Amino acid sequence: MSQFFQVHPVNPQARLIKQAAQIIHGGGIVAVPTDSCYALVCHLDDKGAVERLRRIRGIDEKHHLTLLCRDLSELGVYARVDNRQFRLLKAATPGPFTFILEATKCVPRRLSHPSRKTIGLRVPEDAIINALLAELEQPLLGSTLIMPNETEPLNDADTICERLGKQLELIIDGGACSMEPTTVIDLTGPDAELVRQGRGDASAFGL
């Protein structure tokens, strides 16, 4: 069964964040609240954890997973960003957006889109996930917690425990999140393209 941590949404307990980071370092998959909705996250470099996360979500390698980064400088390590893209990113981060960008060689090949060599990246604005990123000192790999054949994300930690308690190593209860996932913007072309409308306001991109 999963461990279950009740973490303060504004002032996360350092002891629990440290334990959560240790679970992730050990190959665990964790359900965690974000500034959009709950997400499943795991260690970027753990192939087995990534494969398990994909199985739980019912997605294949063509579905973009997302790197959750601490800031734009960290994002720039994993994605190729030109001046135009940087201006757009700076205007909308941190926040509930996921950006599709060209992956750099720092991204393991198995994580980028198999034909496009792109990756989803975001800089969240949430105290719990940011505390976890700071403790890990590297990005997390994540995916919105939407179950196979469903359209709405799971939004309650107790429900997540009931449905996924045997498949996850940890569930972090930070209270209810938004029911909207991130807004997904593809920045790989000459113009920004709206892939999914979610919580983020896409008008900043002229969309």
Per-residue pLDDT, 169: 97
Per-residue pLDDT, 17: 98
Query: Taking the model in full, what pTM does it have?
Result: 0.92
Q: What is the pLDDT of residues 55-80, one digit of tens each?
A: 999 988 878 789 999 999 999 999 99
Per-residue pLDDT, 140: 96
The residue segments making up the domain with residue 137 are: 3-205
Q: Which CATH number is 113's domain given?
A: 3.90.870.10
Instruction: Write the burial class of residue 82 (CB in 10 Å: 0-12 exposed, 13-18 middle, 19+ buried).
Output: exposed
Q: How far is CA 157 from CA 5, 13, 16, in A?
A: 10, 17, 16
**In the chain, how many domains are there?**
1
Per-residue pLDDT, 179: 85
**What does the mean pLDDT of the chain come to?**
92
Q: How far apart are CA 170 and CA 144, in angstroms?
A: 16
Per-residue pLDDT, 115: 67
Q: What is the pLDDT of residues 150-167, one digit of tens each?
A: 988 988 999 999 999 999
Mean pLDDT, range 38-49, rounded to an integer: 94
Per-residue pLDDT, 81: 93
